[in-house]
């Protein structure tokens, strides 16, 4: 499993030279999903609706979201890392969604403080980001 994580990180590093296109983001997202979905034993029917802002409040879904966030380096040492998330947004997002996405991340940065469990915190911050700006929301 760590090999897949290493591959995902390598692909992210390879694309750091320029912001990714949405096509590249979706491609990387598919790979991340292939790692996190079986790891958390969550069905497509429970995670596909996230893209439309439908968040099923179940442990598997919450931990799937946390897994994706870990792979995207938005979680460090078991905690959501605002600075790392902002840096990733700066480096990876296309210009047309970069600032709105960073604004949504900033608006939601304190949401995680209400949750001790990293899966719950990841779930609620992701839900908040969707609510803040559904137009720029993407989640694999």
Tokens of 53: 């802002």
- CA distances (Å), origin 104, targets 9, 66, 133: 24, 18, 6
Which domains does the chain carry?
A: 2-136 (1.10.238.20)
pLDDT at 19: 61
At 58, is the secondary structure helix, strand, or coil? coil
At 52, is the secondary structure helix, strand, or coil? helix
Taken in order 67, 70, 72, 75, is the CA torsion positive or negative? positive
User: Tell me: the pLDDT tens digits for 38-87?
Assistant: 999 999 999 999 999 999 999 999 999 999 999 888 887 778 889 988 98
Tokens of 111: 């949401």
pLDDT at 138: 83
User: Tell me: the pLDDT tens digits for 109-119?
Assistant: 899 889 999 99
Other CB atoms within 10 A of residue 1 CB: 8
Tokens 């949504």, residue located: 104
pLDDT at 41: 96
User: Tell me: the pLDDT tens digits for 9-29?
Assistant: 544 544 444 566 777 777 788
Query: % helix / strand / coil in the chain, to the nearest 5?
Result: 75, 5, 25
Q: How confident is the model at residue 127 (pLDDT cuts 50, 70, 90)?
A: very high
């Amino acid at each position: 499993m760590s090999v897949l994580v290493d591959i995902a990180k390598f692909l992210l590093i390879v694309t750091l030279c320029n912001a990714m296109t949405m096509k590249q983001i979706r491609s990387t997202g598919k790979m991340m999903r292939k790692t996190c979905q079986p790891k958390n034993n969550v069905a497509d029917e429970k995670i596909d609706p996230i893209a439309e802002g439908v968040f099923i409040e179940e442990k598997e879904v919450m931990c799937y979201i946390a897994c994706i966030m870990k792979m995207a380096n938005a979680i460090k040492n078991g905690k959501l890392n605002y600075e790392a998330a902002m840096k990733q947004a700066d480096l990876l997002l296309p210009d047309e969604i970069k600032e709105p996405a960073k604004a949504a991340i900033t608006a939601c940065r304190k949401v995680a403080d209400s949750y001790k469990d990293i899966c719950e915190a990841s779930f609620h911050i992701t839900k908040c980001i969707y609510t803040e700006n559904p137009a720029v929301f993407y989640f694999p």
